A and B are shown apart, each in its own frame.
Chain A
């Protein structure tokens, strides 16, 4: 699993953090997504896919 985030697209809704807090965080100054790891363990797969699905800006891409 490989994750790519697009910080320019991000609208800081925070939904990815709610879905997978071990993988996503937010930048202090404006809440824009920060990727904590781009290759998380497989047991986080469902959470990561949910994070991508609920992102309103389509800023998260997951490659399996």
Chain B
């Protein structure tokens, strides 16, 4: 029997659903073999198993470990200016570096930023309403919101946004060549390294300056500090922006659900809708990847040291055992236990910030522009089928 190639293609006309071939594998077995580039890897198909194994310390996130199933043919290398960031490291080094930047993402600190985010969102909507229509929601709103927020938090000058947004976009486009992607990565790396130099000389009240203090204290190399900066800057852009644009499109395609959200005064309902859209859309749709460090017996198979394992969280989040009627977008359901942010020690660090931003956006945009609608046909919307993060390249809207 031939081994299916991962990732798979979504069905025409079903832009929000995981590929049908992937769904078939879920029905087949809890563990299946798939082909990624030059090797085969295990795929964990079901929600409960994904949670169990993603929390297993015998699996490594280190891209350099034997068997690691890359999401691109050749991994992008970081240059001498930046480290790789803790996302591709194991404990204890992963935890040591991650804990240096967790404080600004604490619930209390994030909640304190809510009025600022509300102001950013309101100003951008004012500009949209005052400007011409139709307008591309991605460039006018979805991208500026998280970009302004993460730049302020990190201490990155927003004036440079064209530069790092272009490079960030190239870096996560899987159809870009390895040379293009490496150049994009190194461009952002050099930029962050230079910025780290400025923060070392003139510290301010921001996250990068906090890292600069650690560099001064000898707890962190400047290269690692710049690498963490790259990771947070890219993650801050490529995720929330896509949740805003794709989430809006999904709601426009489900007017009954949009009405529930628009007409409720309850912040809990808005928060619940954010969780459901995270579950339903699952924008990091190319699976979490791990390498097996020592043999693990699981579901009647043996995951051997040196094997690769892929966790498609879009499948986990559409598992009927965890979420009844999983393909239905239902903003009133309890979806809090979804794994759109991953699971285990690498689970998204920025999730409190992402949640707050999305709560402000979903709670504001559709109320202030109740007549918001697509300005083109669904089939004219360019979806990011070639992106490590799923979404839309543009979303023309009018009202």
A residues contacting B by CB (< 8 A) are 9, 11-15, 17-19, 21, 26, 28-32, 50, 53-54, 56-58
Contact = CB atoms under 8 A, between A and B. Distances in A.
A26 B103 CA distance: 9
A26 B344 contact: no
Q: How many B residues touch the partner, as a band?
A: 20 to 34
B311 to A, nearest CB: 13
Given A17-B107, A18-B107, A11 B55 contact: no
B342 A12 contact: no
A59 to B, nearest CB: 10
A26 B347 contact: no
B107 A28 contact: no
A50 B272 CA distance: 14
A31 B352 CA distance: 11
Contact of B348 (A13, A17, A30, A57): A13
B347 to A, nearest CB: 4
A32 B95 CA distance: 11
A56 B337 contact: no
Contacts of B337: 50, 53-54
Contacts of A30: 99-100, 102-103
B323 to A, nearest CB: 14
A29 B103 contact: yes
Nearest to B343: A56
Given A26-B107, A31-B106, A12 B99 contact: yes
B116 to A, nearest CB: 19
Contacts of B304: none
Contacts of B343: 56
B98 interface: yes
B348 A26 contact: no
Given A12-B102, A56-B55, A56-B342, A19 B107 contact: no
Given A12-B105, A14-B110, A28-B106, 11 more contacts: A11-B102, A12-B98, A12-B106, A13-B341, A14-B351, A18-B352, A26-B107, A30-B100, A31-B103, A31-B105, A56-B345
A19 B98 CA distance: 23
B351 A26 contact: no
Contacts of A11: 95, 98, 102, 345-347, 349
Interface of A is mostly: loop
6 contacts: A11-B347, A12-B98, A13-B341, A19-B336, A56-B55, A57-B345
Contacts of A19: 336
Contacts of A56: 55, 341-345, 347
B74 interface: no
Please give me the 5 A-B residue pairs with the lowest Cβ-Cβ distance, nearest first.
A56-B347, A12-B102, A31-B102, A31-B106, A17-B107
A38 B231 CA distance: 36
B99 A50 contact: no
A27 to B, nearest CB: 9
A58 B55 contact: yes
A17 B341 CA distance: 17
Most B CB within 10 A of own CB, among A12, A17, A29: A12
B344 A57 contact: yes
Nearest to A16: B107
Nearest to A24: B107
Contacts of A29: 103
Nearest to B334: A50
Contacts of A18: 107, 352, 355
B192 to A, nearest CB: 22
Interface string B120-160: 00000000000000000000000000000000000000000
